Structure 1
Amino acid sequence: MQLKGYFYVILAAVLWALIGPVSRYAFEAGMPPLEVAFWRSCLAWVFFASQARALGQMRVARNDLPAVLAFGVVGIAGLFGSYAMAVRAGGAALASVLLYTAPAWVAVMSRLWLGERLSTPKIAAVVLTIVGVAGISLGPDWSGGKSFGVAAILFGLLSGITYALYYIFGKRYLGRYSTPTLFLYALPVGALVVSPFFRFEAHPWQAWVAVAVLAFVSTYLAYSIYYAGLKHLEATRASVVATLEPLVASLLAFFLWDETFTPLGYIGAALILSAVLLTVVDGARRRRIAAMPSRAGA
């Protein structure tokens, strides 16, 4: 069952990797980033709401509703807003590195809130992941000597924390509700919070096609597949495997716009793959150990 979980999470990472290239087409068509985020949330809500209605899964317990709505504010609006501010204050490279501190935050949160053991392989995989993403993101500007302000660091770390909440929230509530049910309530809240920060304007059809792809492929399909995988994996393992996203995104950028890795970027890509391999191998080892008593008693 864990192998199925790894497959789902890797597939979700590939779909998430499309966010950058597809968003770039929307930006080039004249739609600003926060408006892209708004319409992506709204259109994705249509898909999740339709599925929730078709399955008859539209109810949330009154006691859980505040947490679900808070997830919309923090996990959707918070992530979009803090990441955009980090990019503006410190650039996309720094923002990307700090966003993908999420596995480290997940490891800590999972230990505190979910009771997951913080094993040595988990810690090693998290460290490899963060260093690898740093290599891919900072490689082009490694020799520039660029310094960053406090605001850039704080907004970037906040984006990593809010991104980490996707894993923790999903692990805590997926046992009670389906993915469509959760996003039925969270997405419109996030869109509402983001809406005051841009002006609605007319855009060409290319922008709307890009937003539709983001909403259906990189949001509806990606999150549905990811949370299906999260049912079979610990939150920390899932978050580390999902960090294949920047590697896949970099490959797409190479084929679409002839962007290449720096030597440091290639090292970073290798470290990310090593972290994924370490996660999978450690999971297989733990399954073998768990199966030993039952075999002995057979």
Structure 2
Amino acid sequence: MDKKLAYLNVVLASCLWGIIGIFVSNLYELGLSSIQIVSIRVLSTALILILYVVFRNQKSLKINLSHSWYFVGTGIVSFSLFNWCLFNTIQMTSVSIATILLYTAPAFVTIISRVVFKELLTTKKFLSLLLTFIGCSLVIGIFQNSNTAISFNGLIMGLGSGFFYALYSIFGKIALVKYDSLTVTLYTFIFASIVVTPLSELWEIAHLFKHVEIWLNIIGIGFLSTVIAFTLYTKALNTIEASRASIIATIEPVVASIVGFIVFQEELNFWQYIGIIMVITAIILVRDSKIDV
């Protein structure tokens, strides 16, 4: 894949992740809990991908059982645990603190990639990480509230969400050595579904599934913001470094803020605009792969 197309894939994936708040908010209003929404996300994604590969690309179903640890890594260790940590952080602290701690992920990816993949920790990457971290902080408004106290457990859970979120890029890149992006995405959500679904007690809200509205939001969260998004992102990892992809993906909170402004009439202030500019600058900086210093 051409590098420009790979970068575009990451940006598109991030935009699709950024609009997930629309579907999540609607599902909350319908009476679902956090773990039930996560379960619906992974289960619907797994079912959509299984149907696709059965009818269009059956060879993507074939894996070597000895490689199952790849998908334990992407589906259980990464996706399931990052969601669990994230929701706990929100409960212990606030959405703002939880979000900014989640976006420590690029730093974890860059450090781990340096060890695992021998990727260079260049000046550009360091500056991009700094701009991204400050930019995300401004976008979510964390510096505007002086009363944002955080407990030690909240901090550990928040950093855990960033760490486990980062591991998707690491395990995903390892899995792509043996399998294509469709297979990696498929088994990520099969393994995640196996773990999350039994914990969600979805059967207790079975009566809600008779409404068309819930199915429209399931399509949104499962197909648009998960199937397409993760397929685009995983495919891009074939071409570009995991650290670069992770930094570019931090456009997600920017998109989420814009969605909040347009859909939920949430106001953007001066510092949030500055934060958006900083994140976009970081993406442009890390995208330039011709000269690394």
On whether the aligned pair clears a TM of 0.5, the verdict is: yes
Is 1:285 the counterpart of 2:279 in the alignment?
A: no
Deviations 1:75-126 (A, max 9, x none): 1211111111111111111110011111000000100111111111011101
The one-letter code sitting in structure 2 at the alignment partner of 1:2 is K
What displacement does 1:40 show? 1.1
Aligned residue in 1 for 2:283: 276
2: distance between equivalents of 1:273 and 1:182?
Answer: 29
Aligned residue in 1 for 2:218: 211
The one-letter code sitting in structure 1 at the alignment partner of 2:291 is R
SS of the residue corresponding to residue 65 of structure 2 reads: coil
- Which of 130, 133, 136 aligns to 1:133? It is 136
Aligned residue in 2 for 1:7: 8
What displacement does 1:197 show? 4.0
Aligned residue in 1 for 2:150: 148
Is 1:258 the counterpart of 2:265 in the alignment?
A: yes
Q: Which has the larger radius of gyration?
A: 1
Indicate if the aligned counterparts of 2:185 and 2:234 stay in contact, CA closer than 8 A: no
The one-letter code sitting in structure 2 at the alignment partner of 1:190 is A
1: distance between equivalents of 2:68 and 2:287?
Answer: 35
> Aligned pair in 2 of structure 1 residues 70, 106: CA closer, same or farther (>3 Å)?
closer
2: distance between equivalents of 1:101 and 1:122?
Answer: 14
2: distance between equivalents of 1:48 and 1:187?
Answer: 9
Can you give the 5+ residue segments of structure 2 that lack an aligned partner in the other structure? none
Aligned residue in 1 for 2:40: 39
What displacement does 1:22 show? 1.5
- Which of 79, 88, 91 aligns to 2:91? It is 88
Can you give the 5+ residue segments of structure 1 that lack an aligned partner in the other structure? 290-298
Of 168-177 and 88-97, deviating more is 168-177
SS of the residue corresponding to residue 57 of structure 1 reads: helix
Provide the aligned C-alpha RMSD in A.
1.8
Aligned residue in 2 for 1:79: 82
Aligned residue in 1 for 2:246: 239
> Aligned pair in 2 of structure 1 residues 183, 143: CA closer, same or farther (>3 Å)?
closer
What displacement does 1:2 show? 1.3
> Aligned pair in 2 of structure 1 residues 6, 185: CA closer, same or farther (>3 Å)?
closer
Aligned residue in 2 for 1:186: 188
Is 1:107 the counterpart of 2:110 in the alignment?
A: yes
2: distance between equivalents of 1:143 and 1:206?
Answer: 36
The one-letter code sitting in structure 2 at the alignment partner of 1:28 is E
Normalising by structure 2, we get a TM-score of 0.91
2: distance between equivalents of 1:246 and 1:145?
Answer: 22
> Aligned pair in 2 of structure 1 residues 6, 70: CA closer, same or farther (>3 Å)?
closer
SS of the residue corresponding to residue 40 of structure 1 reads: helix
Normalising by structure 1, we get a TM-score of 0.90
> Aligned pair in 2 of structure 1 residues 183, 225: CA closer, same or farther (>3 Å)?
closer
Aligned residue in 2 for 1:49: 50
SS of the residue corresponding to residue 60 of structure 2 reads: coil
> How many aligned residue pairs are there?
285
2: distance between equivalents of 1:91 and 1:57?
Answer: 40
Indicate if the aligned counterparts of 1:4 and 1:232 stay in contact, CA closer than 8 A: no
The one-letter code sitting in structure 2 at the alignment partner of 1:48 is L
1: distance between equivalents of 2:220 and 2:122?
Answer: 38
What displacement does 1:196 show? 4.7
SS of the residue corresponding to residue 107 of structure 2 reads: helix
Identity %: 27
Indicate if the aligned counterparts of 1:26 and 1:210 stay in contact, CA closer than 8 A: yes
